[in-house]
Structures are given as C-alpha cells and as structure tokens.
Amino acid sequence: MGWKRHLALILVLFSWSVSAYSGERTDGLYKGLDTTFVKIPKQHASVKAFLDFSGNAILAKGSYEDNDFSTDLRSPFLAKQGVALTWRSITLSLGFNLFNKPKNYFKIGLNSYGRKFAFELGFKVDKNFHGTQTFGGIKTDIPSESLRHTALTADVYYIFNGNRFSYPAAFGQSRIQRKSAGSFIISASSNFFRTRTLKNENNYDFWFGGITMGIGAGYGYNLVAGNWLFHASVIPNLVIIDSNKLTVDKEKTKISYQFPHFITTANLSIVYNHNKFFTALRGTFHNCTTGNNNSLKVNYIRVNGTLCVGWRF
C-alpha cells in the first residue's frame, strides 16, 4: 500500500503547483513578472526530441543473520531516446531504449515549472541492473535482467526570486531568461524505490524498498550571454521520513532511520535560443541515502545527461 499513498501525495503536490500559477495571462505576461529579466514566448506549446545519457547505481552495506554483506549494482550508461511535449509550463516526456540491448527500460516524466512554484514527477522501470554481492566473504555475480528496479520520485520547489529568476527557462524552455539572476529555493523531495529479484539460481525471493522524504533549501543561478543561458543549482534535502523494509524469503525486516541522511540534487544546464528554435544540454546528479550503518544502508545514485532539440509553436 505504500506506493499508493506515495502516488496520492504526488498527485496532490502536482495539483497544488499547477493551481498556483494556472491563471489566465494578461497581455501575454503573468502578473508580477519582471519582463526585463524574463520573457514569455508568444507560442503556447513546444515539442522536443532528446537523448538521455543516464547511469544509475545502488550501493548497499549491511548485516543479515550475523553475516556482513555488500551489494554493488549498476545500470549501463547508455543513450536512451525520448520525446517531450510542453503546453505553457507543463511538460510530459517519455523515455525508452530502442537501439541498445537489453531494452528493458521505460521512463515517464511530468513536470510543471511556474514563476514561484515548480514540480517534477518521474516514474521509471529498469531491469538492466547488474553487479556483485558479497555475503559472508563470498562474492556472487548478479547478471542483467535478474532484478527489477522501480523508482517513483517527486520534487516540489518554491522560488523566492521568481519574478526575475526563471526555472522553466533552464529546464522546460517555456520561458527565456533575458538578464542574469539567481534565487534561493526551498524544496520538498519524495522518493519511492523498490528493487526485487526476478530470477536466480538459488530460487530465493529478495526485495528492498520503501519511501524516503526530505525538506531542504538551496540556490540556483541563471547566467545569460546573448542567446545562451547557463544554469547551476544545488539543493540538499534533510530526510525527515524514512520507511524502508528488507524482505528475504518472505521474512520482513524494517530498516530504522539513522539521522542525518540527505536527498541531494544538483543541476547544470546550457540552453541556446534562436527565434522558435532551442537546444539544451542538462546534467543532473541525484543521491538518496536511506537506512542505517548497523543493519542496512543504501545509496541510490542517479546521473543524467540530456541533450534535446525543440521547436515552439
């Protein structure tokens, strides 16, 4: 039931973020926007194609039945393909893996970037993880397609200097930053992860997962040079809710939270605008730490590099 509660929370946060800035525009501008710093294009929509160069890692250390163990899982750093459609400040994106093997990968994203509020939602299924596990001094290889990793993430932001600093100019391209500006940002981050076995020689059932939520603050800056925009931001979130369980052969163990842990997101983005055309390169680092040093501690690491080209219409 945990993932259902998590999904309900995400939908509530999304509705709040949309309602916060979904009012009608006056003369093409949102009320309170400093148009010497931020421009809203006349076009309401845009479409873009992208290549997503992503890699993920799950690093775990712990103890089970008086035996220490460690797990190192990684997904291949491959170029996945995708398309995205933006209407005003809301973007729906689909990512898939057409040309590389194995093809067990799917990703869907929904984000909404406004003047003051921003929201990002992502859901991903990946069976490409592979690596090793060491248990009681014995190392075992974990082949690809033997695990199913499901991730559901949600982030909501409040931007203090939203009149002059534009989040969508850096990420959604539904705005154009005209002059350099920065802003302090407060955020809430929520993550649901579940990793479980699909098949193995010993025929045992294993899964680990749960919900991790945090609140925090950071800073972002948009540097403008002609038609170019350079963005950088770092937002650490202190974990306040950490509810995770480890299940081995139907025996469940609740993993207690060890303070402090963080969910950290860092972004770099380069955007080029020319009339209705734009291209962008975004790099994202995301790290979520759960559990404790005594029984089980897990680091979820995600690194993304996304290259896109788009057209406003």
Query: For 272-309, how does the pLDDT look when each residue is reduced to its tens digit (9 = 90+)?
Result: 999 899 999 999 999 998 888 877 888 989 898 999 99
Listed residue (191, 193, 195, 164) closest to 180, CA to CA: 164
Most confident of 12-26, 48-62, 93-107, 159-173: 159-173
> What proportion of the chain, given as a percentage, has pLDDT over 90?
34
The residue-averaged pLDDT of 93-122 equals 78
Q: pLDDT-based confidence at 16, cuts 50/70/90?
A: low
Query: For 227-269, how does the pLDDT look when each residue is reduced to its tens digit (9 = 90+)?
Result: 999 999 999 999 999 988 877 777 777 888 888 899 999 999 9
Q: In sequence order, what are the beta bridge partners of 246?
A: 208, 253
Listed residue (164, 111, 97) closest to 284, CA to CA: 111
Report the predicted TM-score, pTM, of the whole model to 2 decimal places: 0.83
Q: Kindly provide the residue ranges of all beta strands, DSSP E only, lying in the chain, ordered along the sequence.
A: 38-39, 45-64, 67-74, 78-87, 90-96, 105-113, 117-126, 130-135, 138-142, 147-159, 176-177, 181-197, 206-225, 228-248, 251-255, 262-274, 277-291, 296-312
Q: pLDDT-based confidence at 204, cuts 50/70/90?
A: low
Local structure of 4: helix, strand or coil:
helix
Q: For the structural domain made of 2-312, what CATH number should be given?
A: 2.40.128
Query: For 111-161, how does the pLDDT look when each residue is reduced to its tens digit (9 = 90+)?
Result: 888 888 888 888 888 877 888 888 778 888 888 778 888 888 889 999 999
Amino acid 36: pLDDT? 93
Query: For 24-75, how does the pLDDT look when each residue is reduced to its tens digit (9 = 90+)?
Result: 343 444 567 898 999 988 888 999 999 988 888 989 888 777 778 888 988 8
Give yes or no for a contact between 122 and 151, defined as CB atoms under 8 angstroms apart: yes
DSSP 11-45: HHHHHHHHHTT-SPPBTTB-TT--TTTEE--S-SE
Write down the domain spans for the chain.
2-312
Amino acid 310: pLDDT? 95
Most confident of 102-111, 112-121, 168-177: 168-177
